[in-house]
Amino acid sequence: MTTPGALQTPAGSVFVFNVFSEDMDRFSANGSQVGGDPAIAAWSAGPAPARFTPGSLQVPRTLNPSDGPGKFFNGSNDIKVSWSGEIGACTVPIDGAKHPLLEDLALYVFRDNYYLIDSVGVLIESGSMLLTAR
């Protein structure tokens, strides 16, 4: 039996953090640009917020890849980022059976790597950013 409230539970988000000293000019999830200009600010120079505090962007999750442009879905998500002189790309998998749609996740994007963690800080996935010059 499904309760009406369960069907109305909103989907979670992936909170993307730019852990780099330069503004992330662009952030693209599954072929669609997300965020403003810049997409995600560089980490803080301090004192408030504290030095090295990463800039962030909240990106919604969705169930189906067909609804995925500009969102994260259950499956392989194609991510593209750019900084002033480089473009980075990676594929971030999300297993919906292990991390249901209503769960918030965090994606930390470093210049060379990314780390996807769950809401209690457990590493879900990590990998390299494929970097190319602009």
Q: Could you read off the pLDDT of 40-90 as tens digits, one per residue?
A: 999 999 999 999 999 999 999 999 899 989 999 999 999 999 998 899 999
- Alpha carbon 73 to its chain centroid, in Å, reads 11
Tell me whether residue 24 is exposed, middle or buried, using C-beta atoms within 10 angstroms of its C-beta: 0 to 12, 13 to 18, 19 or more.
buried
Q: What is the pLDDT of residues 86-129, one digit of tens each?
A: 999 999 999 999 999 999 999 999 999 999 999 999 999 999 99
Q: Quick one: average pLDDT of 19-38?
A: 95
Which H or E element spans position 7?
Answer: helix 4-7
Residue 1: which pLDDT band, with cuts at 50, 70 and 90? Answer: very low
What's the pLDDT score for residue 85? 85
